[in-house]
Amino acid sequence: MVELVLVQGDITEQAVDAVVNAANSALLGGGGVDGAIHRKGGPAILAECRDLRASRYGKGLPTGAAVATTAGNLPARWVIHTVGPVWSARDDRSELLASCYRESLAVADELGAETVAFPAISTGIFGWPMDDGARIAIATVRSAHTDVRRVSFVLFTPDGYTTFEKALV
């Protein structure tokens, strides 16, 4: 059974085997978590992302999928990039959000990662309500069949931490 840990802080400072990037489908950096990971991780991450786009994901990484690159200058070994869904009040896209967590853990297993740090995928600019995002994240990781030993949910704000803390109970 995977140990779940909550951390209030910066995901780019986590000394884990793999950090998960809430990426955009272009895999070329952006804002929020994606921009922070690319800025701090340095050009090696972007170079690998460009290679992945050229060789496998010319139309972009599909929503809910995950792929790994080097972590560059981050204290992690790898970055696992996953594209979360944009929240919609009309369409239930919960399965796509859950897929981000499942697929990221599957990639972590392929890499042999034992420790993984996740942000709150899709809860920033993609508009997913934090309480629902926390519920889906925790339930999905708890039910996952994985060799990962510890998953940290790294929340940048006190409100995000409190929301995940309530969902963890």
Alpha helices in the chain (DSSP H): 32-41, 43-55, 94-111, 130-143, 158-168
Q: Is position 34 annotated as part of the catalytic site? A: yes
> 134: which 2 tokens?
């926390």
Q: Tell me which residue of 159, 156, 134 sits closest to 4, measured CA to CA.
A: 134
Identity (one letter) of the amino acid at 120?
A
- Which region holds residue 62: left if phi is over 0, alpha if psi is between -120 and 50, else beta? beta
Between CA 14 and CA 49 the distance in angstroms is 21
Residue pair 109/146 in contact (Cβ under 8 Å)? The answer is yes
Catalytic residue among 10, 34, 51, 92: 34
Please name which of 37, 125, 135 lies closest in space to residue 79, comparing C-alpha atoms.
37
Cite the active site residues: 34
